[in-house]
């Protein structure tokens, strides 16, 4: 028997499980219009691992009612401290896990459940995520899948993260899509590399289920994978002659993937999203690009209250979760253009906070990316700009976790980690400096060592561009940071035979080329 397409009793479940199923079906299918595609993909017998994204505490219930077999799942051990709650959630299939350490008992229980031919529900991201993306899967899920030999069923859910908005109930439509069982039979090794590969395939399968669902283009844009590979820019130095002077353009100069992605999302919003369109702060830190977008209809506002309806774009630097919740509470169409590398840093900060670490954010205190990270890291988070700012006495003897503004330098991170190591009882450092930043910084230092003058092109409010100028200046005093070619001064290049040009990750190619052409005219005559 089914109600709204959901089974009202599963095979082999307890009476309490069935009663809770009835209540949940009436609530979620009736009130929240919950609909599931592909539930028939669950095998009727034998061991199965259901893997899905994790957005809210109610996810086990929402997932569980989709299937006609009872599910077992891990829940943090703190929930089992209350006797009444322990009885309830245990009867609903939960068993405890200590997420702050490797919990061998939870691993053993998982394998025993599968050995008994039951269904194990797993949330491989490890923690609830507050955005719409599918984050990295922990390799432990790959280990359980390969060691048990169980069928793996990918499932994508959406909506539970919007059931509470700024503490008030919302009524989002809930939906889920269940994909076909995932074949991992070719992964025969039993080692960390194989487990990681299995976890990677599982994440791809869940992400693929999302793409196959009937979601809107805006929702599809919001949940782009949070760690897409950056398309390579030129990895070679480029030289241009101007008489006897050589102008050398650095490797990897200019737009990074996150910026290109944000601009593409913004252009798509202009074409098809509800008007008017506004960005919460400048979409990227480049004045000329922001002006061009304003001319095409993208207003820049300082806070959600300034939105006049329509569509609100979250810029590359990201925002705190409560800002997005506030925008949705005002019924704005939210389009998330947060850089995927920033999204990873946000995910790590939230995971550290939820696991009980004292969170340290290494970054510029007033930078919007850091403000967003603070929102994910919780109220007790500490922001420092270098090791000298660490409140070591406050952190002494604690479990300390570190995340990093994506445009910081590796040397600054090393200094902070070295200062924390003797003071912390346990230190977990996530190097969330993005690959694009590291490539550009390394290339800029390489360039500065080979030329007589360096010109760094990009917005003065761009943290990554300012960092490039700082690094070049530490090698070569004759370093100049400009926003456009009109700022070039002839006296900067007296007696120079090799002039280097590099640019920040938010600098368009046309500004780099304009600078090169202006230099040719300036020194080539």
pLDDT in tens, 262-283: 998 999 899 888 999 999 999 9
Cα→Cα distances 255→397, 437, 506, 507, Å: 42, 11, 5, 6
Last residue of a domain, one of 402, 433, 464: 433
> Does 33 or 317 have the greater pLDDT score?
317
Identify whether 230 is part of a domain: no
Residue with more model confidence, 441 or 163 = 441
**Residues with Cβ within 8 Å of residue 431, at least 6 apart in sequence:** 404, 410, 413
Residue with tokens 């609830």: 128
Per-residue pLDDT of 64-73, as tens digits, reads 888 888 888 8
Final residue of a domain: which of 320, 339, 358? 339
Report whether pLDDT(238) > 80. Answer: yes
Whether 89 and 190 map to the same domain: the answer is: yes
**Same domain for 334 and 400:** no
Question: Is pLDDT at 63 greater than 70 in this prediction?
Answer: yes
| Residue 401 vs residue 15, higher pLDDT | 401
Question: Which of 385, 418, 433 lies at the terminal end of a domain, its last residue?
Answer: 433
Are residues 301 and 211 part of one domain? no
pLDDT, tens digit, 9 for 90 and up, residues 78-101 = 778 778 778 877 877 888 887 655
How large is the average pLDDT for residues 145-163?
85
171 shares its domain with 153: yes
Answer yes or no: do 169 and 23 share one domain: yes
Q: How far is CA 53 from the centre of its chain?
A: 13
Contact 362, 413 (CB under 8 A): yes
Kindly state the tokens that stand for 293: 């977008």
Report how far apart the first and last C-alpha atoms of the chain are (Å, whole number): 86
Identify the CATH number of the domain in which residue 106 sits.
Answer: 3.40.1130.10
Q: Output 228 or 206, whichever has higher pLDDT.
A: 206
Measured CA to CA, the distance from residue 403 to residue 110 in angstroms comes to 31
- Nearest of 396, 397, 367 to residue 383 by alpha carbon: 367
Q: Greater confidence, 96 or 173? A: 96
d(CA 355, CA 301): 35
Query: How do residues 448-459 score in pLDDT, each as one tens digit?
Result: 999 999 999 999
Per-residue pLDDT at 165 exceeds 70: no
222 assigned to some structural domain: no
Q: What range does the domain containing 178 cover?
A: 2-215
Compute the average pLDDT of residues 187-206.
86
391: confidence class by pLDDT, cuts 50, 70, 90 = very high
Task: State the Cα–Cα distance between residues 357 and 106, nearest whole angstrom.
Answer: 21
Residue 34 within any structural domain of the chain: yes
* 150 and 60 fall within a common domain: yes
Q: For residue 331, is pLDDT > 60?
A: yes
Query: Residue 231: which pLDDT band, with cuts at 50, 70 and 90?
Result: very low
Name residue, tokens 């910081």: 408
pTM listed for this prediction: 0.57
Helix and strand totals (H; E) in the chain: 17, 24
The pLDDT value given to residue 310: 92
Specify which residues 119 forms β-bridges with: 48, 71
Within a domain: residue 162? yes
Rounded alpha-carbon distances, angstroms, from residue 320 to 6, 316, 430, 514: 36, 13, 19, 37
Query: What band does 2 get if pLDDT is binned at 50, 70 and 90?
Result: low
Mean pLDDT of the chain: 85
Say which residues have a Cβ less than 8 Å from residue 119's Cβ, sequence separation at least 6: 42, 47, 48, 49, 50, 67, 69, 70, 71, 72
- Calculate what percentage of the chain has a pLDDT beyond 90: 46
Distance CA 382, CA 450 (A): 39
Segment 98-153, tens digit of pLDDT:
765 556 788 888 999 999 899 999 998 887 776 667 788 888 899 999 999 899 99
Say if residues 252 and 234 touch (Cβ distance below 8 Å).
Answer: yes
pLDDT at 217: 38
- Assess whether 314 and 458 both reside in one domain: no
Distance in angstroms (rounded) separating the CA atoms of residues 83 and 174? 31
Residues near 59 by beta carbon (within 8 Å), at least 6 away in sequence: 52, 123, 128, 157, 160
Q: Hey, which of 26-35, 134-143, 154-163 has the most confident mean pLDDT?
A: 134-143
Sign of CA dihedral 191, 194, 200, 201: negative
Residues 268 and 304 in one domain: yes
Which run of H or E residues covers position 154?
strand 151-158
Q: What's the number of domains the chain is made of?
A: 4
Q: Please state, in angstroms and rounded to a whole number, the distance separating the CA atoms of residues 493 and 429.
A: 43
Residue 308 belongs to a domain with what CATH number? 3.40.50.11270
Asked if pLDDT for residue 179 goes beyond 90, the answer is no
pLDDT at 174: 81
Tell me the pLDDT band of 226, cut-offs 50, 70 and 90.
very low
Could you tell me which of 257, 256, 239 has the C-alpha nearest to residue 248?
239
Q: Is 232 part of any domain?
A: no
Same domain, 472 and 511: yes
Q: Which of 369, 374, 483, 511 is catalytic?
A: 369
Please, which pLDDT band fits residue 225 given cuts at 50, 70 and 90? very low
Q: Known catalytic residue: 379?
A: no
Within this chain, do residues 275 and 176 fall inside the same structural domain, yes or no?
no
Smallest CA-to-CA distance from 512 within 520, 521, 523, 502 is with 502
Question: Would 62 be classed as within a structural domain?
Answer: yes
- Return the CATH number at 346: 3.40.1010.20
pLDDT for the residue numbered 215: 43
Q: What is the mean pLDDT of residues 291-308?
A: 93
Indicate the DSSP class of residue 56.
S
25 and 166 assigned to the same domain: yes
Q: What band does 312 get if pLDDT is binned at 50, 70 and 90? A: very high
Per-residue pLDDT band at 229 (split at 50, 70, 90)? very low
pLDDT at 168: 53
Distance separating alpha carbons of residues 34 and 356, to the nearest angstrom:
33
Give 214's pLDDT tier (boundaries 50, 70, 90): very low
Q: Of 214-218, 242-246, 268-272, 487-491, which gets the smallest average pLDDT?
A: 214-218
- Are residue 42 and residue 159 in the same domain, yes or no? yes
User: Is there a domain that residue 276 lies in?
Assistant: yes
For residue 480, the cross-strand partners are 455
Residue 182 DSSP one-character state: B
Peptide bond into 141 cis (omega under 30): no
In a domain, 226, yes or no: no
Other beta carbons less than 10 A from residue 265's beta carbon:
23
Q: How confident is the model at residue 230 (pLDDT cuts 50, 70, 90)?
A: very low
Nearest to 311 by CA among 328, 326, 333, 329: 333
The pLDDT of 12-37, averaged and rounded, is 79
Average pLDDT over residues 372-398: 95
Mean pLDDT score, 237-256: 90
């Amino acid at each position: 028997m089914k109600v709204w397409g959901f089974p009202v009793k599963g095979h082999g479940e307890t009476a309490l499980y069935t009663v809770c199923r009835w209540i949940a079906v009436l609530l979620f299918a009736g009130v929240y219009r919950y609909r599931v595609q592909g539930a028939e993909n669950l095998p009727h017998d034998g061991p199965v691992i259901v893997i899905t994204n994790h957005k809210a505490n109610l996810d086990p219930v929402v997932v569980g009612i989709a299937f006609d077999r009872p599910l077992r799942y891990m829940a943090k051990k703190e929930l089992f401290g209350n006797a009444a709650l322990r009885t309830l959630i245990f009867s609903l299939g939960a068993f405890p896990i200590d997420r702050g350490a490797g919990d061998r008992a939870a691993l053993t229980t998982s394998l025993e459940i599968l050995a008994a031919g039951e269904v194990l529900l797993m949330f491989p991201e490890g923690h609830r995520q507050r955005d719409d993306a599918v984050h990295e899967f922990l390799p432990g899920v790959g280990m359980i899948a390969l060691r048990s030999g169980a069928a793996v069923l990918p499932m994508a859910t959406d909506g539970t993260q919007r059931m509470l908005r700024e503490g008030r109930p919302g009524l989002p439509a809930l939906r889920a899509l269940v994909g076909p069982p995932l074949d991992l039979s070719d992964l025969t090794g039993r080692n960390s590399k194989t487990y990681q590969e299995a976890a990677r395939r599982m994440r791809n399968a869940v992400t693929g289920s999302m793409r196959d669902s009937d979601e809107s283009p805006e929702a599809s844009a919001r949940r782009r994978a949070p760690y897409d590979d950056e398309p390579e820019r030129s990895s070679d130095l480029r030289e241009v002659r101007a008489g006897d002077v050589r102008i050398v353009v650095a490797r990897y100069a200019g737009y990074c993937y996150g910026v290109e992605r944000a601009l593409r999302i913004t252009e798509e919003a202009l074409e098809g999203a509800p008007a008017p369109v506004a960005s919460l702060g400048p979409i990227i830190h480049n004045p000329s690009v922001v002006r061009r977008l304003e001319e095409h209809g993208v207003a820049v506002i300082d806070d959600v209250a300034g939105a006049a309806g329509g569509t609100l774009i979250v810029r590359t630097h990201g925002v705190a979760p409560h800002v997005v919740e506030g925008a949705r509470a005002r019924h704005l169409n939210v389009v998330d253009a947060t850089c995927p590398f920033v999204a990873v840093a946000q995910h790590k900060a939230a995971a550290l906070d939820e696991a009980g670490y004292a969170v340290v954010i290494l970054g510029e205190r007033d930078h919007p990316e850091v403000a967003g990270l603070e929102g994910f890291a919780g109220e007790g988070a500490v922001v420092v700009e270098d090791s000298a700012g660490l409140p070591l006495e406050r952190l002494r003897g604690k479990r300390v976790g570190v995340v990093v503004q994506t445009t910081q330098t590796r040397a600054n991170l090393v200094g902070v980690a070295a200062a924390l190591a003797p003071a912390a009882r346990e230190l977990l450092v996530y190097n969330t400096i993005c690959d694009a930043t590291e490539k550009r910084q390394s290339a800029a230092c390489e360039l500065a060592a080979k030329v007589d003058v360096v010109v760094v092109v990009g917005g003065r409010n761009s943290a990554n561009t300012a960092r490039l100028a700082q690094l070049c200046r530490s090698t070569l005093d004759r370093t100049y940071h400009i926003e456009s070619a009109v700022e070039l001064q002839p006296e900067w290049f007296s007696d120079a035979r090799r002039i280097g040009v590099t640019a920040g990750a938010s600098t368009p190619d046309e500004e780099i080329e304009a600078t090169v052409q202006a230099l040719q005219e300036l020194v080539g005559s």
